[in-house]
Structure 1
Amino acid sequence: MQLVRGLHNVRPSHHGCVATIGNFDGVHLGHQAILTRLRESAARLSLPSCVIVFEPQPREFFNPETAPVRLTRLRDKLRLFAEAGIDQVLCIAFNKRFRQLSAAEFVQTVLIDALGIKHLKVGDDFRFGCDRRGDYTFLQDAGQQSGFSVEPTTTIEIDGQRVSSTWVRTALANADFALARRLLGRPYSIDGRVMHGKKLGRTLNAPTANVQLKRHRAPLQGVYLVSVQLRSGRHLPGVANIGTRPTVDTTQQAHLEVHVLDFSGDLYGQHIAVTFHKKIRDEQRFESLPELQQAIAADIAQAHTLWQHFHTL
């Protein structure tokens, strides 16, 4: 799969494709259905498939403090797009200049001049352009004039409810990982590289792998039973804290710290995947480090007990 970062990097070889546009946050079952149909249409027309995404996501640009928390970083999306068989991804920087494009300018600049699309799949509720004139009907009219067809994406439902990123966020907030797995088609996990931290966990008899989140907020907060996939492919049980570490940190930055049960070894620099299975407790602020140490010891003991149960299911 080819990643094109920015319209200035689009080349003539990218011209002529079947495309779709969206945030694709979480790449859930609904998104996967869109990608499957996109790939099928591309194969039928003997053209490459292309997904158009924006960084940051538009709502993050306009209201970063109130925008929905991210389920997946761009890196995770790209991996999932590649696994879905997508040929190319155009990632457009959503900035002040880009957000000033009218709907007509967006169609001309992105869809026609840059990509020369032949077929577009888009939700019938999709809106775009600084004038907010861009919608499904607008795209149909533009396609008739410029020689590309437009097709609505289909809705995937579970138990009569539309699968959406919002529903996934709600499931995670409620620690309903079984529901999140149904909506995503896979267990919810967070990938990242293990970085050097303050090494406070060692002094508390609970060494942790500090996973770089590269995000201010995370869709989970608390202490969880997890499994950790190492670079070697091994899956190991663990207990993870994800949150702002209120006892030892005042930055309000989201952190993911994982203690791998009964493990000794060096994980620094490794890219690991942390899969969440059950919530143990909410994140708390403790008055002293000894209180924090006691809580961590209790979390580890409970994780051992819970993992024996999960391991026998």
Structure 2
Amino acid sequence: MQLVRGLHNLRPQDRGCVATIGNFDGVHRGHQAILARLRERALELDLPSCVVIFEPQPREYFAPQTAPARLARLRDKLRLLAAEGVDRVLCLAFNQRLSKLSASEFVDTILVDGLGIKHLEVGDDFHFGCDRVGDFAFLQQAGKTRGFTVEAAQTVELQGVRVSSTQVRKALAAADFNLAEGLLGRPFRIVGRVLHGQKLARQLGWPTANVQLKRRRVPLTGVYLVSVPIDGVQWPGVANIGVRPTVAGDGKAHLEVHLLDFAGDLYGRRLTVAFHQKLRDEQRFASLEALKSAIDADVAAARAHWHGQPLN
């Protein structure tokens, strides 16, 4: 899959494609349906498929403190899009200049002059342009005068609920991992590199992998049953994700994973942590001894669970 960062990096040979536009956070089953239709149109027209995304996402630009937690970082989003058979991703920097483009300027500058699109596939609730005045009807009319067709992707529902990134976040907040997996089409996972940390958990008898989050907010907080594939083997474990209130820290969210009976050096490796069940909320304990007792209980609960439901 080709990644193009910014319109200025588009080459003349990149013009001519079928495209879709959006955040594609999590690349859930609703997104997957749009991408499947995009592939079909690309084959019919013998053109490459292109997904236009924004970095940061618009809500993160306009209201960074209240923007929803990301389901996937950019790196992971690109990997998921590639797995869906996307030929090209155009990643646009969402900044003041882009935010001020009118709907008509957006169509002309990005879709027509930049990409030379022949067909556009969008969600039925898609809005764009300054003040979000552009919508599906606007695109249909623009397509008639500028030489491209537009199709609205059909809504995907699960158990009567419209599949969306918002619904995935709600499922995660409710610790309903079965619903989250149904909405995503896969278990919810966080991917990150293992970094050196305070090594406090090791001193308490339970060494953990400190997995880099690299995000302002995370959609989970608490203690969870997790699994991590390492060299072809699925390792069961328990993980804490949160700000570690018992220990004076930096106030940022951290993901710490203890893999049951694993012995090995994970520093520098990129781990994929799948979440399966919530054990408890993150708590502030009166002492390190109380924290150790809680971790002991968490590990015991994880052992009991994974003994009854082995991964391998």
Identity of aligned residues (%): 66
- 1:70-149 equivalences under 5 Å are 70-149=70-149
For structure 2, list consecutive stretches of 5 or more residues without a partner in the other structure: none
Residue 138 of structure 1, CA deviation: 1.2
Whole-angstrom distance in 1 between the partners of 2:178 and 2:92? 34
Whole-angstrom distance in 1 between the partners of 2:124 and 2:236? 43
Partner of 2:61: 61
Whole-angstrom distance in 2 between the partners of 1:137 and 1:58? 21
TM-score (norm. length: structure 2): 0.97
Whole-angstrom distance in 2 between the partners of 1:69 and 1:82? 22
Partner of 1:152: 152
- 2:99 maps to a residue whose letter is R
Matched, 1:299 2:298: yes
Moved more, 160-169 or 260-269: 160-169
Residue 131 of structure 1, CA deviation: 4.3
Residue 312 of structure 1, CA deviation: 8.2
Cα distance change on mapping 1:210 and 1:312 into 2, 3 Å: closer
SS in 2 for 1:85: coil
Partner of 2:262: 263
Moved more, 288-297 or 243-252: 243-252
Whole-angstrom distance in 2 between the partners of 1:52 and 1:303? 41
Partner of 1:239: 238
- 2:49 maps to a residue whose letter is S
Partner of 1:22: 22
- 1:285 maps to a residue whose letter is R
Partner of 2:182: 182
- Per-residue displacement from partner, 1:284-303 (whole Å, max 9, x unpaired)? 01122121111111111111
Contact 2:243–2:253 (CA under 8 A) maintained in structure 1: yes
TM-score (norm. length: structure 1): 0.97
SS in 1 for 2:132: coil
- Per-residue displacement from partner, 1:66-101 (whole Å, max 9, x unpaired)? 111111111111111111111000010101121111
Contact 2:34–2:123 (CA under 8 A) maintained in structure 1: no
For structure 1, list consecutive stretches of 5 or more residues without a partner in the other structure: none
Residue 144 of structure 1, CA deviation: 0.9
Whole-angstrom distance in 1 between the partners of 2:21 and 2:251? 33
Residue 306 of structure 1, CA deviation: 1.1
Partner of 1:41: 41
Would you say how many aligned residue pairs link Structure 1 and Structure 2? Answer: 312
SS in 1 for 2:117: coil
